[in-house]
Amino acid sequence: MTYNLDQMRDLLLSVQKPARYVGGEIGQIMKDPEAVDIRVAFCFPDIYDIGMSHLGMRILYGVLNEQEKVWCERAFQPWPDMEEAMQKEGIKLYTLESRTPLDEFDIVAFTLQYEMCYPTVLNMLKLGNIPLYSKDRKGLEQIVVGGGPCAYNPEPLAPFFDIFSIGEGEEALPELTEKLRDARDRGISREEFLFEVSQMEGFYVPSLYDATYNEDGTLAAFTPNRDGVPAVVRKRIIKDLDKVYYPKDQIIPFTEPVHDRVTIELFRGCIRGCRFCQAGMLFRPIRCKSADTLVKDACALLETTGYEELSLCSLSSSDYPEIEKLVDQLIQYTEPRGINLSLPSLRIDNFSKELAEKITGVKKSTFTFAPEAGSQRMRDVINKNVTEADIERSCRIAFENGNSSVKLYFMMGLPTETDADLDAIRSLADKIIGYFYDTDKEKRNRFIKITASVATFIPKPFTPFQWEAQDSREETTRKQQYLWEKVRSKQITVNCHDCRTSMIEAILARGDRRLAPVLEQVAAMGGKLDAWSEHFSYDRWIDAMDACGVDGNFYSLRKRDFDELLPWDFIDIGVSKDYLIREAKRSYEAQTTPNCAEQCNGCGANKMMGGKCDV
């Protein structure tokens, strides 16, 4: 069954921005349903406007559709006005391409970018008429698969998903579709299919593992419940990024998405090893695309899409070994065509004056830096490896280039933090203002505006801080208040995140299977789109935890011992636990660790590349 646009006409015209629900954009892939044998609904658990900006989804959409017999379509969480209208009319959540309801798909895949999307995932399953629990789904269809960064600790979602794809999906997902086709040809059961998938590298089938707990609530054991199921699931990586598929075209939304531009991916992984950063550990080892491949990708995409903005994507763009060469070559293409080149994720310690001039030559924008902490001691604890001299140098370059707006990212509640570290945020901002007034009046702008965005630290799995306690809500609120009074001035704006979201995120990030009923409860109470402040309800989460007898503080505010068995320990990301412990101990001494380009610190990720990283 498919829904017909004409029949939905009145409904669509009654909601805001209906273009998000109709598909038909340039670049979408249409196939004959009779000519394909595997139908995939790729679900992004947020609204269209957000999901359509996501690079990972673009890549996997392309990879899956490259296979002749597979048709991958898109589905998003509708905005509540649309959701309500659909429910009133009895319309199930459908994919945009063919407008087929989710329950008719063979594979329903979710990308899990952020913990706060979990209730949305459950909500989308419900809207798509798919049974929430894996055990309630039958046959070789409605296989619910999860991937993305949150799949590295998938446990809170364990009973809802059939399969998690751990690591990079470009090769794994096509293998999964082949496996499903093969299983169908052989006529095996869903259980046998899942068992076989559990033996493929990078796939975790939660129903094939059991967790037991100690009296104090900590995990006692986590083991396969069937012979032949591996005890450890190793993540998948793409070894050669120059050879892997990259989209030559992309869907161009009718309405304006958050990021309306072409994005190319410079490299995966990060050499830096900031101790709070999950992505920096998860995506190791570092692998680069060559500048030649990138220029080719960029030109092809700009030509097919007609976009006027090109963005370079990576965890730390200025660490890209061929950055000067790449920017030079790209500018040769972009400048005569009036295309804006944006280069996010620059580091303050190694971005050069030449690079700054090259970029500002195209368009001036706000300079954004992430010192993460105000004091040098704190920056050493988190291994940010940025010195005040670095900050001074970059700010001077920026001011001489005419930038007058500086955005600074900080974190609060980091391990070992004291009020003195918060005071240092003010002194850092004051110094930056000083550099501005030092700058030659001819070159600099007239006004300076500093915006300090202060996030609440959330300990994440697979980081050296995975054992740490988060600050309590009271303490966080006190620190925010303190910061607000201490730092705010005419030239400095302070934005603090709503710490209630961070409290919940911290619980989910290091949660285990016992949180699944809480998620179900939150979704049942109407929870969805929790990343949107207008839809987030702290009380709903607290009520749901109370109803399920779950103590959230156990997950967020408790400091763990290094020898505690953690819910995600069965996943092998390449980086060893020994290395994480080593790093945690160094952090207590405020000892920094050099970046991977300077020396190999033996994190273990290189074993995934046969011993050598791309640095």
Rank residues 265 and 308 by Cβ distance to other proteins and give the closer one.
Answer: 308
Subset of 341-380 contacting other proteins (CB under 8 A): 363
220 makes contact with other proteins (CB under 8 A): no
CA atoms within 13 A on the CB side of 428: 31
304 makes contact with other proteins (CB under 8 A): yes
255 by DSSP, 3-state: which? Answer: coil
Judged by CB under 8 A, the stretch of 18-26, 181-189, 389-397, 433-441 that binds other proteins is 18-26
Residue 333 CB, shortest distance to other proteins, in Å, is 14
90 vs 258: CA distance, rounded Å: 30
DSSP string for residues in 373-425: SSSHHHHHHTT----HHHHHHHHHHHHHTT--EEEEEEEES-TT--HHHHHHH
Residue 69 CB, shortest distance to other proteins, in Å, is 24
**Residue in this structure with the two tokens 């559990």, named with its chain if needed:** 198
Q: Are strands 367-372 and 405-412 parallel, antiparallel or unpaired?
A: parallel
359 vs 155: CA distance, rounded Å: 43
Binding mask 508-547 for other proteins (x = CB under 8 A): ----------------------------------------
Rank residues 48 and 283 by Cβ distance to other proteins and give the closer one.
Answer: 48
How many chain residues touch other proteins (CB under 8 A)?
Answer: 26
DSSP type of residue 252: B
Rank residues 26 and 220 by Cβ distance to other proteins and give the closer one.
Answer: 26
Pick from 537, 435, 451: which is nearest to 487 by CA? 451
310 by DSSP, 3-state: which? Answer: strand
Pick from 208, 223, 320: which is nearest to 267 by CA? 320
Residue 359 CB, shortest distance to other proteins, in Å, is 15
How many helices and strands in the chain, by DSSP H and E?
A: 20, 19
Sheet containing 143-147, strands listed edge to edge, beginning at the edge strand earlier in sequence = 70-76, 38-44, 107-111, 143-147, 163-165, 203-204
Contact 324, 355 (CB under 8 A): yes
69 makes contact with other proteins (CB under 8 A): no
Supply the angle between the helices 291-305 and 323-334 in degrees, to the nearest 10.
Answer: 30
Subset of 223-252 contacting other proteins (CB under 8 A): 252
Rank residues 173 and 362 by Cβ distance to other proteins and give the closer one.
Answer: 362
Contact 257, 74 (CB under 8 A): no
Binding test (CB under 8 A) with other proteins, winner from 53, 67, 340, 368: 340
26 makes contact with other proteins (CB under 8 A): yes
25 makes contact with other proteins (CB under 8 A): yes
Judged by CB under 8 A, the stretch of 5-13, 208-216, 459-467, 593-601 that binds other proteins is 5-13
448 vs 406: CA distance, rounded Å: 8
70 vs 432: CA distance, rounded Å: 54
How many degrees, rounded to 5, is the angle at CA 104 between CA 98 and CA 107?
95
49 makes contact with other proteins (CB under 8 A): no
Binding test (CB under 8 A) with other proteins, winner from 24, 33, 139, 361: 24
Judged by CB under 8 A, the stretch of 154-162, 297-305, 312-320, 568-576 that binds other proteins is 297-305
187 makes contact with other proteins (CB under 8 A): no
Residue 83 CB, shortest distance to other proteins, in Å, is 17
94 makes contact with other proteins (CB under 8 A): no
Question: 7 exposed, middle or buried (CB, 10 Å; 0-12, 13-18, 19+)?
Answer: exposed
95 makes contact with other proteins (CB under 8 A): no
307 makes contact with other proteins (CB under 8 A): yes
Query: Is the peptide bond prior to 285 cis by the omega test (within 30 degrees of 0)?
Result: yes
Residue 185 CB, shortest distance to other proteins, in Å, is 35
Residue 112 CB, shortest distance to other proteins, in Å, is 28
Rank residues 364 and 577 by Cβ distance to other proteins and give the closer one.
Answer: 364
Residue 4 CB, shortest distance to other proteins, in Å, is 11
Judged by CB under 8 A, the stretch of 19-27, 187-195, 312-320, 519-527 that binds other proteins is 19-27
Rank residues 28 and 383 by Cβ distance to other proteins and give the closer one.
Answer: 28
Beta-strand runs (E) in 171-238: 203-204, 209-213, 219-224, 233-234
18 makes contact with other proteins (CB under 8 A): yes
Binding mask 249-268 for other proteins (x = CB under 8 A): ---x-xxx------------
Subset of 543-582 contacting other proteins (CB under 8 A): none
263 forms bridges with which residues in the sheet? 311
Q: Which residues bind other proteins (CB under 8 A)?
A: 5, 9-10, 12-13, 18-19, 21-26, 252, 254-256, 303-308, 338, 340, 363
